[in-house]
Structure 1
Amino acid sequence: MTIHYIEEKQLFHLQAVDTSYIFQIVNGYPVHLYWGRKLTHDSSLSRFLDYPKQAWIDRLPQEYPQYGSGDFRHPAYQVQLEDGSRITELVYQSHRILNGKPRLQGLPAVYTESDEEAQTLELVLKDPYSGLAVILLYSVFRDHNAITRSVRFVHDGKGAVRILRALSASVDLFDSDYEALYLAGAWTRECHIQRRRIGPGTTRIESRRGASSHQLNPFMALVRPNADEEHGEVYGLSLVYSGNYSAEAEVDQYGSTRFSIGLNAFDFSWKLDPGDSFETPEAVMVYSGEGIGGMSRTLHRLYRTRLVRGVHRDRERPILVNNWEATYFNFNAEKIESIAKAGAELGIELFVLDDGWFGKRNDDTTSLGDWVVDRNKLPNGLTDLAERVNRLGLQFGLWVEPEMVSPDSDLYRRNPDWCLHVEGRRRTEARTQLVLDLSRQEVRDYLFEALSEIFSTVPVSYVKWDMNRNMTEIGSVDYPAERQPEIAHRYMLGLYELLERLTGRFPHILFEGCSSGGGRFDPGMLYYMPQTWTSDNTDAIERLKIQYGTSIVYPISTIGAHISAVPNHQVGRITPLTTRGDVAMSGNFGYELDLTRFTDDEKETVKQQVNLYKEIRSLVQQGDLYRLKNPFQGNETAWMFVSEDQTEALVFYFRVLAEPNASHKRLRLKGLHPDYQYAMMDSELILTGDSLMNFGLTVPHLHGDFTSTWFRLKQKQA
């Protein structure tokens, strides 16, 4: 059993693999008592974890706090009643404990494959005055050190209620000795690690862009000041959502911290008529007593095995070549076939045709929405090209950007009201495109039919789904005035519905999410698309920080990483092909350049890279990641992958700039079995796991800037 209830004290004890989460009903309020390392469940808990009933509400550490009745900290929810008042008071009504984990209506979420994998607590709170019921859902996993939370609002009263704020999780911690850890950046420099001390007031990250964003990822952790990769306490919140969100840590006058995550209340409200309900996105809560790395590996295993779905979840991902940086919009069938032919000779498995194959798409100013092949570029059609690629022994993949429309397109000329807009107002264009209104069923139906026509007539095995701008003029002609603040969230629900239909009809297609790179790299999209294009920046040195930061939350199997040409198209840097390969092989590996331009020596290097990745990709994509050297803190970067049974490991080491008269470098490894003997491949060296983790490996001398090396270790059989 993972959820316990002590009835005489109204105390709930949730136990994950190595975590306990405890709260109690006090004067009708669910009051938080403990979140941390797993505690033994016995009767003594109710003696030392018993909150005083005379506590003032502004001091209560609450599970789902309200505003207006004495608590002056930021609330988890707020509603407006029909009389204009914003005062509700939720009190405990009932609860039930279920085996398994119910699905959320219309929202992505972590799942179970059998009821034995988890238990769920449904805690029903009710405001007697308005009739509003709020159900707090807690799911606890048997095999994962995580707890998920979401909230369902049900209006059982009279008259309309308007939800103004609806967070997914809120927890009051008893002190403020923390640093906030989060991922920030911009286009081409996503997921840079930020870490700063919290103090009185609020530390807040958010998106108001209609997408989870390049700027701030929907994740925040509170870490003890002494916490590092291996040691110290970490409390992580990750939101399974792809739209506007907020995460915040508020330190009050008593030094306690309110930590929360959920939908962004900015420019949001949701009308509930009597009988209506509303569900929030799911928050994933992870406690680690083994530092940041422990939190990451919990999230990795959970997301890799119980968020990602479908036939590709456990399959090795193919090595691909994408033509974008090779040709941009300037290609024809012969050029594409020549790149695919070169790829086949090098052992590559998948060719991806990027932007420019449809409508009159010779640049980025036209044709989005017109999902018909450009016969000027491909006179024999897309099916013919795909079959030519297939005959070379490669799978065929395709780029699409379905959520957008170009003003210069047949679709827009037919349906100018199909985009997000407000009548009489300017329609802001970005990248010469507008955003289709996916809150409307007819728009989603058009996209489903147009894309289904392509996917069912062309032998497509992979789709890169791009989204290259954020929302402006957020409005819809399908909804009345009082529901306009719902549109951004309705858009996300519409997108999720469309993706559910498409992935259900075409389960064989491997979908990769993209939003100008990492602008929508979030757990919500991973529910439908097993991997994401991590960044449009393909420079190997910049990618060290981007991929390291992304791995704080996301498993390597979700991280797309490609070798591109030099000088790099984003920063102009020239890096060795071997270094570019080692960085890209630390993710879902591929190439994004003109393979026909390789020299014979480069072709030989690429063949070696392809063959190596085929040997190691199951370890990279499914193994446990350990970060060894932090690129944000010095000249070196290192990480390693360890098989679940600890019999195999792969270590990558990178040095950015050469150092004169440098000392010998040693890498202390992690995650190995201390008693195993490990043989280093291509060497006669045999070392025990404890010596590798405590003394380390000596890094060979590297010459020049932007260099790298790697080590493979396998357990020596007796």
Structure 2
Amino acid sequence: MSRKLKRAGLIFAATALSHAAAHAEAGFDASRRVFRLDGGDVTYAFKIDGAGLLQSVYWGSRLAAADPIDAPQARALSGFDVAANVVPQEYAGWGGGIFTEPALKVAWPDGNRDLVLHYVSHRLSRDGVSITLRDIQRPLTVTLNYVIDRGTGIIGRSATIANDGRTDVRVDQAMAATYVLPVGSDYRLHFLTGRWGSEWTRQERPVSAGATVLESRRGSTGSENNPWFAISQDGRSTETDGPVWFGALAWSGSFRISVDRDVAGRPRVTGGFNPFDFAYRLKPGERLETPIFYAGHAEAGMGEASRLMHRFALEHIVPRKGELPALRKVLYNSWEATEFAVDEAGQMRLAERAARIGVERFVMDDGWFGARNNDHAGLGDWTVNPSKFPNGLAPLISKVRSLGMDFGLWVEPEMVNADSNLYRAHPDWIINFAGRPRTEGRNQYVLNLARIDVRDHLLKQLDALLTNNDIRFLKWDYNRNWSEPGWPAADPADQQKLYVDYVRNLYWILAELRRRHPDVEIESCSGGGGRVDLGIMALTDQVWASDNTDPVDRLQIQDGFTQAYAPGLMMAWVTDSPNWVNKRATPLSFRFLSSMQGGLGIGTNLNKWTEEDFATAQRYVGVYKRIRETVQHGNLYRITRPSPDNATSTTLYVARDKAQAALFALTQGTHQLEPRAPIRLLGLDPNARYAIESMDGTPLGDGAPAVATGAYWMGRGIDIRLQGDFQGAGYILSRQR
């Protein structure tokens, strides 16, 4: 045994002995050559096998510190499947006889494409480990980084590929990680699909031979597939019980997550950069870092898996100044009232009406800049339109601030119209192939942020906008995907770096703006939920889940969104009725109850409201402010999930300290005097006493107790009578001292 392994073995022994006191999370058993990570209720283990490959060993419920963890050496199944293809490798290079999805595929100038990665060394930290792998002959090194969260047991994995040689290396595929589940034939994959206006549709299918590929080739994340997955087990896993493995990729560009079952019957999940149209040249001494692929395990069903993911995002991903992100302010957005026809007087009138109902943030949407009177012109020219705002934005901002609200603005910095000063000056700044047609989407092109000059120009413009105006919020939009993904100014061998460098520079701009303007909050929007992922969430404060604001459709959209991401990060608006999507008319109270289950926004044309509308809104905004910490930071329990043919939803939000709960019950319609069972709550303190009140102020039904124990509300439940179409009810439960 080497000195290095002996020393690591002593570290493992010391941490195991002091587990109760120090709660050590990472260790290495030198005798078995097994690495072990513990966090929350999860243990994750892998080993160095006899051939020097990293082999997955265990991922599931937390084991005792003294429990031995190991796995047998994998053997060849036949001449068709040699040992390298059977070993459940943690990070496999494409070489040595593997046919499973590799994590890394490279090519050298001499035509060699064989890559076999063997263990070289490791370095333990308190909550993780860094592993160095190297090709058996060539000077290419891969550093695998593992870290486990102590609270949730969620693991973060990434890889850094380094060219240590004297010639170039072309990376053709670079994944962040491969996760391997135990052998089994009863697994089901859950994932989220969609399109514009219909995002966050939950899908499921068996995990079987043949891969399911979740991907975006769009240059950004995209609505078509979100980079999130969950895997349950048939007959064991439900919303409230059974094992679930889940994960999400922190990347806002083209991605791929491949889910398959190998020849030994093990599900494998491999995620990272999308290899479609991908090539990344590493010159001598250069490195490529992959995104982080986060993954976790739950034993109490899909609900617990969601809550663990929500908690992890709030505590470790989203920007925050304390332990948790700031609470989302009640927001008004002017788009539906004015569209492009914004001006100083009209926006001031809307601001006065918004302040009446308790709005805390007034956001002026598209139309305030350049020659922006429609979507054909102006993008790229981020200067105030002098005919609409002859004195700049200062008078409007001053008015908004005097009404007790902060001021926000819509921007779309990554785009340019052909009819703009920026495009006329720099037609070469867009993503394009030289000599080929330039496809427009929504009458606009995509700027090439991979270029440093474009990156610096955008930062300069946005920095000046925020420096010269008291702006506290940006709605950052992105309304088309890429076409003709070329970079003519770059060396042909480097042009496909566009897929990585664009996103890295987007992150850089956002990070630099946050550093220079720490009081400015940012919302990520992409024609709705087209760019929502843990990568963009690390640099923005909230996201726009969908342009579809129909309150019935939103029940299903929000159900899908919260499978993966925390409700407090999701903006949900109350908008006009009939809604523009389906021409469906719904009561204002129903629209509020639907939208209060995330970050509450109002996007209606307030100029058309009656006094009754204002009174209804004032009540619900006031109620929301009472419960928003519970909704945004608490634990979500999905009691009844909506489906495409039955938009009935019952959700419960319970505060972290269980002092408050907010219950929402909504239905698209009732039929045939159908009896409604009592709603049995979840997650309360069974020994505490809770008082209950309705959000609309109506009295409780006959015989309903005003105060009862958590055990009562969870055992007996609450009787809610809903009759008619588009009916909803909301209740607040407050723990009594």
- Structure 1 residue corresponding to 2:85, chosen from 58, 64, 69: 58
1:248-279 deviation digits (Å, cap 9, x = unpaired): 21123332222111111111111111211111
Per-residue deviation, 1:635: 4.2
Which structure 1 segments of 5+ residues have no match?
100-118
Displacement of 1:623 in angstroms is 0.9
Equivalent residue of 2:120, what SS? strand
1:84 and 2:144 aligned: no
Which AA in structure 2 matches 1:415? H
The whole-number CA distance in structure 2 between the counterparts of 1:254 and 1:501 is 48
Say if 2:418 and 2:444, in contact at 8 Å, map to a contact too: yes
AA partner of residue 93 (structure 1): V
Q: How many residue pairs were aligned? A: 694
Deviates more, 1:246-255 or 1:615-624: 246-255
How far apart, CA to CA, are the structure 2 residues paired with 1:157 and 1:311? Answer: 43
Aligned counterpart, 1:256: 266
Q: Is contact 2:669-2:723 (8 Å) kept?
A: no
1:677 is displaced (CA, Å) by 2.1
Match of 2:131, SS state, is strand
How far 1:242 sits from its partner (Å)?
0.4
Give CA-to-partner distance per residue, 1:132-168, whole Å, 9 cap, x none: 1111110012222211100011111231111111111
Aligned residue type for 1:713:
L
- What corresponds to 2:60 in structure 1? 36
Give me the whole-angstrom Cα distance separating, in 2, the residues matched to 1:478 and 1:673.
62
1:532 shift after superposition: 0.5
Aligned mates of 1:716, 1:614 — CA distance in 2: 20
Local SS of the residue matching 2:211:
strand
1:180 maps onto 2:189 in alignment = yes
Question: What is the alpha-carbon distance in structure 2 between the residues aligned to residue 237 and residue 346 of structure 1?
Answer: 40
Give me the whole-angstrom Cα distance separating, in 2, the residues matched to 1:465 and 1:176.
Answer: 44
Structure 2 CA distance for aligned equivalents of residues 694 and 483 of structure 1 = 63
In structure 2, the partner of 1:22 is 45
Q: Is structure 2 residue 473 aligned with structure 1 residue 462?
A: yes
CA separation of 1:475 and 1:180: change in aligned 2, threshold 3 A: same
Q: What's the offset of the Cα at 1:479? A: 1.4
**Aligned partners of 1:81 and 1:130 also within 8 Å:** no
Sequence identity percentage: 36
Q: 1:285: which partner in 2?
A: 295
1:120 to 128, 149, 154: 128
Partner of 2:683: 671
More divergent stretch after superposition (311-320 vs 369-378): 311-320
1:520 maps to a residue whose letter is: R
Aligned to 1:213: 222
Counterparts of residues 231-310 of structure 1 (less than 5 Å): 231-310=241-320
Letter in 2 for 1:188: G
Which residue of structure 1 lines up, in the alignment, with residue 95 of structure 2? 68
1:553 lines up with 2:561 in the alignment = no
* SS, match of residue 667 in structure 1: coil
- Look up the equivalent residue of 1:715 and give its one-letter code: R
Question: Secondary structure of 1:551's match?
Answer: helix
Q: Quick one: which amino acid aligns to residue 672 of structure 1? A: L
Equivalent residue, structure 2, for 1:661: 673
User: Offset of 1:172 from its aligned partner?
Assistant: 2.6
For 2:260 and 2:71, the matched residues in 1 are separated by 24
For 1:524-575, what per-residue CA distance to the aligned partner results, in whole angstroms no more than 9, with x for missing partners? 1111111001111111000001111100111111100110001101221101
Q: List runs of 5+ in structure 2 lacking aligned partners.
A: 1-23, 77-82, 695-699
Once the 2 structures are TM-superposed, how far is the Cα of residue 365 of structure 1 from its aligned partner?
0.5
Q: Distance in 2 between matches of 1:69 and 1:315?
A: 51
Residues 86 and 263, structure 2, Cα contact 8 Å, conserved in 1: no
Name 2:17's counterpart in structure 1: none
Structure 1 residue matching 2:722: 3-state secondary structure: coil
Q: Which residue of 2 aligns with 1:153?
A: 161
Pick from 327, 331, 335: which aligns with 1:316? 327
State the TM-score, normalized to the length of structure 1. Answer: 0.95
- State the partner residue of 1:103: none
- Is contact 1:296–1:553 with CA below 8 Å preserved after alignment? yes
Aligned position for 1:104: none
Say whether the 8 Å CA contact 2:75–2:86 is kept in structure 1. Answer: no
Structure 1 segments (4+ residues) deviating >3 Å: 310-313
What residue is the counterpart of 1:600 in the other structure? Answer: 611
The CA distance in 2 between the partners of 1:635 and 1:430, in whole Å, is: 33
> 2:4 maps to what in 1?
none
Compute the displacement of 1:714 (Å): 1.5
Counterpart code for 1:69 = G
Find the aligned partners of 1:670 and 1:15 in 2 and give their Cα distance.
28
Instruction: Give deviations 1:467-518, integer Å, cap 9, x for gaps.
Output: 0000111122331001112112111011111111111111101111100010
Aligned residues: CA RMSD: 1.4
How big is the shift at 1:233?
1.0
SS of match in other structure, 1:259: strand
Q: Is 2:650 the partner of 1:638?
A: yes
Alignment of 1:679-694 (within 5 A): 679-681=691-693, 684-694=705-715
| Shift, 1:632, TM fit | 1.8
SS of equivalent residue, structure 1 residue 552: helix
8 Å contact kept, 2:320–2:326:
no
Contact kept? 1:134, 1:152, Cα under 8 Å: yes
Give the aligned residue type for 2:554. Answer: R
Asked if 1 retains the 8 angstrom alpha-carbon contact of 2:327 and 2:628, the reply is yes
Question: Residue 450 of structure 2 aligns to a residue in which SS?
Answer: coil
SS at match of 2:563: coil
Aligned equivalents of 1:186, 1:641: Cα separation in 2? 28
Task: Answer yes or no: is the 8 Å Cα contact 1:23–1:32 preserved in 2.
Answer: yes
* Aligned-partner SS, 1:293: helix
The 1-side partners of 2:210 and 2:74 are apart by 27
Structure 2 Cα separation of the partners of residues 572 and 82 of structure 1: 60
In the TM superposition, residue 681 of structure 1 has moved relative to its aligned partner by 2.6
Report if the CA contact (8 A) 1:654-1:709 is conserved: yes
1:8 aligns with one of 31, 40, 44: 31
Instruction: Work out the CA distance in 2 between the residues paired with 1:498 and 1:476.
Output: 20
- Provide the rounded CA distance (Å) in 2 between the counterparts of 1:649 and 1:593: 28
Equivalence for 1:698: 719
Deviations 1:209-235 (A, max 9, x none): 011101110111111123111111111
Name the SS for the 2:332 alignment partner.
strand
Tell me which residue corresponds to 1:116: none
Aligned partner of 1:685: which letter? A
From 472, 478, 483, the counterpart of 2:494: 483
Partner residue of 1:383 out of 381, 394, 407: 394
- The secondary structure found in structure 2 opposite 1:294 is helix
Q: Deviations over 1:256-309 (max 9, x none)?
A: 222111111111111111211111000111101111111111111111121111
Shift of 1:54: 4.7
Identify the residue that residue 148 of structure 2 maps to in structure 1: 140
- Go from structure 1 to structure 2 and tell me whether the alpha carbon gap of 1:449 and 1:539 turns closer, same or farther (over 3 Å shift): same
Q: Give the letter for the 1:601 counterpart.
A: E
Q: Find the aligned partners of 2:579 and 2:71 in 1 and give their Cα distance.
A: 61
CA distance in 2 between partners of 1:652 and 1:600 (Å): 25
Length-normalised TM-score, structure 2: 0.92
Residue type of the partner of 1:687?
A
CA contact (8 A) 1:309 1:527 kept: yes
Of residues 658-667 and 504-513 in structure 1, the stretch that sits farther from structure 2 once superposed is 658-667
> Which of residues 385, 390, 394 in structure 2 aligns to 1:374?
385
Paired residue for 1:715? 735
3-state SS, counterpart of residue 343 of structure 1: helix
State which of 532, 544, 564 in structure 1 corresponds to 2:555: 544
Q: Does 1:349 align with 2:349?
A: no
Query: Is 2:673 aligned against 1:649?
Result: no
Q: Report the Cα offset of residue 691 of structure 1.
A: 2.9
